[in-house]
Amino acid sequence: MKNGKVKNIKTELLSDNWYTLNKITFDYQKEDGSWETQIREAYDRGNGAAILLYNPKKGNVVLTRQFRMPTYVNGNEQGMMIEVCAGLLDGNHPEDCINKEVEEETGYKVENVIKVFESYMSPGSVTEILHFFIGEYAEDMKISEGGGAEDESENIEVLELDFKKALEMIQTGEIRDAKTIMLLQYAQINKLMGV
- What confidence score (pLDDT) does residue 145 get? 77
* pLDDT, tens digit, 9 for 90 and up, residues 152-163: 556 899 999 999
- What confidence score (pLDDT) does residue 149 get? 59
The pLDDT-based confidence of 118 (bands split at 50, 70, 90) is very high
* pLDDT, tens digit, 9 for 90 and up, residues 7-34: 999 999 999 998 999 999 999 999 999 9
What's the number of CA atoms in the CB half-sphere (13 Å) around residue 44? 13
Is there a contact between 44 and 127 (Cβ–Cβ < 8 Å)? yes
Delimit the domains of the chain by residue range.
6-44, 48-189
Can you name the residues that pair with 96 across neighbouring β-strands? Answer: none
Q: Name the residue among 108, 112, 129 with its Cα closest to residue 120.
A: 129
Pairing state of beta strands 20-29 and 60-67?
unpaired
Record: fold of 48-189: Nucleoside Triphosphate Pyrophosphohydrolase (3.90.79)
Q: Based on DSSP, count helices (H) and strands (E) in the chain, helices before strands.
A: 4, 10
The pLDDT-based confidence of 147 (bands split at 50, 70, 90) is confident
Provide CB contacts within 8 A for 54, sequence distance 6+: 60, 61, 62, 134, 135, 136, 137, 163, 187, 192, 193
pTM: 0.92
What's the number of CA atoms in the CB half-sphere (13 Å) around residue 194? 6
pLDDT (mean) for 37-43: 97
